[in-house]
Chain A
Amino acid sequence: NAGVTQTPKFQVLKTGQSMTLQCAQDMNHNSMYWYRQDPGMGLRLIYYSASEGTTDKGEVPNGYNVSRLNKREFSLRLESAAPSQTSVYFCASFGIEQFFGPGTRLTVL
Protein backbone atom coordinates (compact mmCIF):
# COMPACT_ATOMS: atom_id res chain seq x y z
CA ASN A 1 0.00 0.00 0.00
CA ALA A 2 1.26 3.48 -0.87
CA GLY A 3 -0.98 5.13 1.76
CA VAL A 4 -1.52 8.79 0.86
CA THR A 5 0.31 10.22 -2.13
CA GLN A 6 0.57 13.86 -3.19
CA THR A 7 1.85 15.57 -6.31
CA PRO A 8 3.82 17.68 -6.89
CA LYS A 9 6.32 17.74 -4.01
CA PHE A 10 7.56 21.23 -4.83
CA GLN A 11 6.09 24.07 -6.88
CA VAL A 12 6.94 27.70 -7.53
CA LEU A 13 4.22 29.96 -8.93
CA LYS A 14 3.96 33.59 -9.85
CA THR A 15 1.18 35.69 -8.38
CA GLY A 16 -2.02 35.13 -10.35
CA GLN A 17 -1.10 31.72 -11.73
CA SER A 18 -3.32 28.72 -11.07
CA MET A 19 -2.48 25.16 -10.14
CA THR A 20 -4.03 21.97 -8.80
CA LEU A 21 -2.54 19.81 -6.05
CA GLN A 22 -3.39 16.16 -6.43
CA CYS A 23 -3.96 13.68 -3.62
CA ALA A 24 -4.84 9.98 -3.67
CA GLN A 25 -5.27 7.32 -1.01
CA ASP A 26 -5.47 3.55 -1.34
CA MET A 27 -6.87 2.72 2.12
CA ASN A 28 -10.54 2.89 1.10
CA HIS A 29 -11.12 5.76 3.55
CA ASN A 30 -14.28 7.81 3.28
CA SER A 31 -12.82 11.05 4.65
CA MET A 32 -10.08 13.15 3.09
CA TYR A 33 -8.56 16.49 4.09
CA TRP A 34 -6.39 19.36 2.91
CA TYR A 35 -4.28 21.27 5.45
CA ARG A 36 -1.74 24.02 5.25
CA GLN A 37 1.18 24.35 7.63
CA ASP A 38 2.75 27.71 8.34
CA PRO A 39 5.48 28.53 10.88
CA GLY A 40 4.00 29.07 14.33
CA MET A 41 0.48 28.24 13.10
CA GLY A 42 0.42 24.46 13.24
CA LEU A 43 -1.87 22.65 10.82
CA ARG A 44 -4.95 24.50 9.63
CA LEU A 45 -7.78 22.77 7.81
CA ILE A 46 -8.61 24.21 4.39
CA TYR A 47 -11.32 21.83 3.16
CA TYR A 48 -12.42 18.33 3.91
CA SER A 49 -14.62 15.67 2.37
CA ALA A 50 -16.39 13.35 4.80
CA SER A 51 -17.55 11.09 1.98
CA GLU A 52 -17.46 10.80 -1.79
CA GLY A 53 -19.58 13.55 -3.27
CA THR A 54 -19.42 15.94 -0.30
CA THR A 55 -17.01 18.74 0.59
CA ASP A 56 -16.99 21.19 3.48
CA LYS A 57 -15.02 24.29 4.38
CA GLY A 58 -12.47 24.18 7.13
CA GLU A 59 -10.83 27.02 9.00
CA VAL A 60 -9.09 28.74 6.05
CA PRO A 61 -10.96 28.01 2.77
CA ASN A 62 -10.66 31.41 1.07
CA GLY A 63 -8.71 31.31 -2.20
CA TYR A 64 -9.08 27.54 -2.62
CA ASN A 65 -11.45 25.10 -4.28
CA VAL A 66 -11.59 21.33 -3.94
CA SER A 67 -12.92 18.39 -5.89
CA ARG A 68 -13.61 14.91 -4.54
CA LEU A 69 -13.16 13.17 -7.85
CA ASN A 70 -13.93 9.71 -6.48
CA LYS A 71 -13.35 7.85 -3.24
CA ARG A 72 -9.59 7.72 -3.82
CA GLU A 73 -8.83 11.23 -5.05
CA PHE A 74 -9.22 14.71 -3.54
CA SER A 75 -7.69 17.68 -5.34
CA LEU A 76 -7.02 21.24 -4.17
CA ARG A 77 -7.05 24.10 -6.67
CA LEU A 78 -5.62 27.58 -6.37
CA GLU A 79 -7.35 29.68 -9.05
CA SER A 80 -5.22 32.81 -8.67
CA ALA A 81 -2.24 32.23 -6.42
CA ALA A 82 -1.20 34.91 -3.92
CA PRO A 83 2.03 35.22 -1.87
CA SER A 84 -0.06 34.56 1.28
CA GLN A 85 -0.63 31.03 -0.04
CA THR A 86 3.06 30.20 0.24
CA SER A 87 2.97 27.23 2.59
CA VAL A 88 3.40 23.49 2.94
CA TYR A 89 0.22 21.64 2.00
CA PHE A 90 -0.68 18.26 3.45
CA CYS A 91 -3.38 15.91 2.28
CA ALA A 92 -4.74 13.32 4.69
CA SER A 93 -7.28 10.54 4.82
CA PHE A 94 -9.12 9.19 7.84
CA GLY A 95 -10.49 5.80 8.73
CA ILE A 96 -9.74 4.95 12.35
CA GLU A 97 -6.52 6.98 12.27
CA GLN A 98 -5.59 9.92 10.09
CA PHE A 99 -2.80 9.28 7.61
CA PHE A 100 -0.90 12.14 5.99
CA GLY A 101 0.74 12.48 2.62
CA PRO A 102 4.35 13.67 2.25
CA GLY A 103 3.39 17.31 1.66
CA THR A 104 3.73 19.85 -1.15
CA ARG A 105 5.96 22.86 -0.62
CA LEU A 106 4.45 25.77 -2.55
CA THR A 107 6.10 29.13 -3.05
CA VAL A 108 4.18 32.01 -4.63
CA LEU A 109 6.37 34.86 -5.82
Chain B
Amino acid sequence: QVQLLQSGPGLVKPSQTLSLTCGISGDSVSSNRAAWNWIRQSPSRGLEWLGRTYYRSKWYNDYAVSVKGRITINPDTSKNQFSLHLNSVTLEDTAVYYCARGVVGATTNWFDPWGQGTLVTVSS
Protein backbone atom coordinates (compact mmCIF):
# COMPACT_ATOMS: atom_id res chain seq x y z
CA GLN B 1 0.00 0.00 0.00
CA VAL B 2 1.48 3.30 -1.11
CA GLN B 3 1.44 6.13 1.40
CA LEU B 4 2.61 9.72 1.09
CA LEU B 5 3.56 11.81 4.12
CA GLN B 6 4.00 15.55 3.76
CA SER B 7 6.11 17.84 5.90
CA GLY B 8 6.99 21.51 5.89
CA PRO B 9 6.05 24.87 7.39
CA GLY B 10 2.52 26.17 7.33
CA LEU B 11 3.42 29.86 7.30
CA VAL B 12 5.51 31.67 4.71
CA LYS B 13 6.17 35.40 4.38
CA PRO B 14 5.38 37.23 1.14
CA SER B 15 8.26 37.20 -1.39
CA GLN B 16 9.88 34.21 0.34
CA THR B 17 10.06 30.57 -0.77
CA LEU B 18 7.49 27.91 0.08
CA SER B 19 9.14 24.51 0.61
CA LEU B 20 7.40 21.19 1.24
CA THR B 21 8.56 17.58 1.22
CA CYS B 22 6.64 14.40 0.43
CA GLY B 23 7.95 11.09 1.78
CA ILE B 24 7.02 7.94 -0.12
CA SER B 25 6.43 4.47 1.33
CA GLY B 26 5.37 1.45 -0.66
CA ASP B 27 6.75 2.75 -3.97
CA SER B 28 9.89 4.37 -5.33
CA VAL B 29 10.42 7.92 -6.47
CA SER B 30 12.52 6.34 -9.24
CA SER B 31 9.65 4.15 -10.47
CA ASN B 32 9.32 3.94 -14.25
CA ARG B 33 5.55 3.65 -13.94
CA ALA B 34 4.67 6.66 -11.79
CA ALA B 35 5.06 10.42 -11.63
CA TRP B 36 5.23 12.47 -8.47
CA ASN B 37 3.01 15.52 -8.40
CA TRP B 38 2.14 18.59 -6.40
CA ILE B 39 -1.44 19.89 -6.45
CA ARG B 40 -2.95 22.73 -4.46
CA GLN B 41 -6.49 23.64 -3.44
CA SER B 42 -7.89 27.02 -2.56
CA PRO B 43 -11.40 28.51 -2.51
CA SER B 44 -10.51 30.93 -5.31
CA ARG B 45 -8.64 28.57 -7.65
CA GLY B 46 -10.09 25.15 -6.75
CA LEU B 47 -7.84 22.15 -7.37
CA GLU B 48 -4.82 23.21 -9.40
CA TRP B 49 -2.10 20.90 -10.71
CA LEU B 50 1.30 22.53 -10.17
CA GLY B 51 3.92 20.15 -11.49
CA ARG B 52 5.58 16.76 -11.41
CA THR B 53 8.87 14.91 -11.47
CA TYR B 54 9.35 11.45 -12.92
CA TYR B 55 12.05 9.01 -13.99
CA ARG B 56 12.19 7.36 -17.39
CA SER B 57 15.86 6.41 -17.75
CA LYS B 58 16.56 10.00 -16.73
CA TRP B 59 14.74 12.61 -14.66
CA TYR B 60 12.07 14.86 -16.13
CA ASN B 61 10.00 17.73 -14.78
CA ASP B 62 6.79 19.34 -15.98
CA TYR B 63 5.32 22.53 -14.55
CA ALA B 64 2.02 24.34 -14.91
CA VAL B 65 2.15 27.54 -16.92
CA SER B 66 0.60 29.42 -13.98
CA VAL B 67 3.66 28.84 -11.77
CA LYS B 68 6.42 28.21 -14.30
CA GLY B 69 9.51 30.21 -13.47
CA ARG B 70 8.73 30.13 -9.74
CA ILE B 71 8.51 26.37 -9.12
CA THR B 72 11.02 23.58 -8.72
CA ILE B 73 10.22 19.96 -7.91
CA ASN B 74 13.16 17.77 -6.96
CA PRO B 75 13.44 14.04 -6.34
CA ASP B 76 15.61 12.74 -3.50
CA THR B 77 16.42 9.10 -4.20
CA SER B 78 18.45 8.65 -1.00
CA LYS B 79 15.38 9.42 1.13
CA ASN B 80 12.73 8.23 -1.35
CA GLN B 81 10.96 11.56 -1.32
CA PHE B 82 10.37 14.62 -3.47
CA SER B 83 10.09 18.27 -2.71
CA LEU B 84 8.30 21.42 -3.84
CA HIS B 85 9.88 24.85 -3.86
CA LEU B 86 7.76 27.84 -4.90
CA ASN B 87 9.53 31.16 -4.73
CA SER B 88 8.36 34.78 -4.65
CA VAL B 89 5.10 33.77 -3.00
CA THR B 90 2.17 36.17 -2.67
CA LEU B 91 -1.10 36.03 -0.76
CA GLU B 92 -2.60 34.21 -3.78
CA ASP B 93 -0.36 31.22 -3.05
CA THR B 94 -2.20 30.57 0.20
CA ALA B 95 -3.73 27.11 -0.22
CA VAL B 96 -3.74 23.52 0.93
CA TYR B 97 -0.88 21.78 -0.87
CA TYR B 98 -1.05 18.08 -1.68
CA CYS B 99 1.50 15.67 -3.06
CA ALA B 100 0.11 12.82 -5.14
CA ARG B 101 1.34 9.88 -7.16
CA GLY B 102 0.41 10.06 -10.83
CA VAL B 103 -0.55 6.68 -12.27
CA VAL B 104 -0.11 6.27 -16.01
CA GLY B 105 -3.43 5.57 -17.73
CA ALA B 106 -4.42 4.82 -21.31
CA THR B 107 -4.84 8.48 -22.22
CA THR B 108 -4.01 10.45 -19.11
CA ASN B 109 -2.76 10.03 -15.58
CA TRP B 110 -4.86 9.88 -12.46
CA PHE B 111 -3.73 10.69 -8.94
CA ASP B 112 -3.60 8.01 -6.28
CA PRO B 113 -2.83 8.20 -3.45
CA TRP B 114 -2.63 11.74 -2.11
CA GLY B 115 -0.69 13.07 0.83
CA GLN B 116 -2.54 14.34 3.87
CA GLY B 117 -2.31 17.98 2.75
CA THR B 118 -0.51 20.99 4.22
CA LEU B 119 -2.25 24.32 4.72
CA VAL B 120 0.27 26.97 3.74
CA THR B 121 -0.60 30.53 4.62
CA VAL B 122 1.29 33.41 3.06
CA SER B 123 1.30 36.24 5.56
CA SER B 124 3.69 38.77 7.03
Mutual binders A and B: no
